[in-house]
Amino acid sequence: MSCTTILVGKSASYDGSTIVARNDDSGSGKYDPKRFVAVLPEDQTRHYRSTLSHVSIELPDNPCSYSIVPNALPNRGILAECGISERNVGMSATETIAVNERVLAADPMVALKTAQGEPGDEGYLPEQAGGIGEEDFITLVLPYVHTAREGVERLGKLLEEYGTYEANGIILSDVNDIWYVETIGGHHWIARRLPDDCYAAIPNQLGLDDFDVRDALGEQREHMCSADLLEFIEEHHLDRTMSDDPEHVKHLNPRDLFGTRTTKDHIYNTPRAWYMQRYLNPSEDWDSPQARYTPISDDLPWCRRPEVKISIEDVDFLMSSHYEDTPYDPYGTQGTAETRHRYRPIGINRNGQLGVLQIRPYAPEAWRSVMWISYGSNPFTSVAPFYTNVRSTPEYLSNTTAEVSTASFYWTNRIIAALADSHYMDTSNFIEQYRENVLSFGHALVHDTDAAMRSSEASSRDEKADASEVMESANQQMSDYLQRETGDLLAKVLYTVSNNMHNSFAMSDRWND
């Protein structure tokens, strides 16, 4: 399983934006190259067929443009992973989660069934398409919706009609709302709106811990779900609540009803949520024997209020983190060799890309949305901002191929991480300075570009300024700076690691009198 997610409500973020961030991690032993591209309405297929499940779906004829960070190689379909549309709706898909055996028995996953035999043969069984999944969600939903809530509604209808072959957490956001959707079995789903003053830390587990079914089936103020969810729960005896009060459906715990709780979760999942909450609520006791929550706690809250407002830098750090300042840091000096490799870190070798979707209330709709992007293993790189309402993207981020090349942002970062990993202490200062440089330049570039577009818009009395060209120019500036800084970082890391090679020898080749 892979990926880590953090959601930040608009009242919990440093500037009033909604912020959605997810590490797109490849499965164990895999490394999927990434690219950043704009999809125009004329590029959006009208007759969609999934590569993995073979499901075919006819799509509406009115898509809008959107920018995504998909896989560079087409072997597993589009896998758009995260994106923002020209309507300033963001979507991240998916956070891999797990449901329990009772759910899988009640509503099995909709898996592809290959054809058996040949047409005309006795006993021939034709192929049965599977449901929709990570490959498909963004392509099927994002270009057609105007708000995050509308995105949840469209996604829910697709899940109910076609089903899914995997358990996933999907996020939809706009300037006001963040909605988190979890699939429950093959056709069922639940969704909750993140409170504005909260963040949510989500590893690869079913995360929602409080759900109001009455609201979801009624006014839908903060909750939404499959229309038959209550009957589904009752028919299959999924409700484990120790209460006969009918009002208890206002506070069902989806983890208890639908989720898993295993010793593997305590190694792979709960420690990541624990570390994110430890960082964002540092005044609590996290480390003593009396601590309320530990790395193996099954009852860590899905969302909570941070002690200070959360910045892009906080998000970048957390998505790059590896249990710094604890005995569990694989690059640290605390603890033992065993504790330093006890838990799965957030910043891991198979991070493919980090997409941070920032939708800003103070910016006009034409340039409201910014996607902060990094490729490769997050502890060795930095996110950089790119406007999303554009028609093209910089080649340095979009030209990723299967060929390893320093002309590609993805491959350069992969090389840096592979070199620096075994020389962490010797190279960490270079990487820290790189991150500071990229983030500082990025913030300044966005500020100056916003100001330039406001000025241009104010001075254009008769004709609306074409903001897309200005945004594309800013994206290219960011890309050019990123390419120079990343190349410089590679040179520094390569030089340092070369000096520390095991076959190095310092004695002069000749004797001097």
Residues annotated as catalytic are: 3
Q: How far apart are CA 80 and CA 94, in angstroms?
A: 10
CA 196 to chain centre: 19
Question: Judging by DSSP bridges, how do beta strands 4-8 and 199-202 pair with one another?
Answer: antiparallel
C-alpha to C-alpha distances, 46 to 49, 74, 159, 352, nearest whole angstrom: 10, 19, 19, 29
**CA-CA-CA-CA dihedral for 276, 437, 417, 200, to nearest 10:** 20
* CA neighbor of 23 nearest in space, from 67, 82, 73: 82
What is the C-alpha end-to-end distance of the chain, expressed in Å?
Answer: 64
Question: Judging by DSSP bridges, how do beta strands 82-85 and 188-193 pair with one another?
Answer: unpaired
Helix-strand-coil split of the chain, %, nearest 5: 35, 20, 45
Q: How far apart are CA 34 and CA 54, in angstroms?
A: 23
Whether 36 and 69 have beta carbons less than 8 Å apart is answered as yes
Q: Which residue has the tokens 């590569």?
A: 51
Cis amide linkage into residue 94, ω under 30° from 0: yes
DSSP letter string, 228-287: THHHHHHHTT----S---GGGGGGB-HHHHH----HHHHHHTHHHHHHHHHHHSTTS--S
SS3 70: coil
Q: How far apart are CA 365 and CA 369, in angstroms?
A: 8
Question: Judging by DSSP bridges, how do beta strands 199-202 and 56-58 pair with one another?
Answer: unpaired
Whether 83 and 90 have beta carbons less than 8 Å apart is answered as yes
Q: How far apart are CA 271 and CA 454, in angstroms?
A: 44
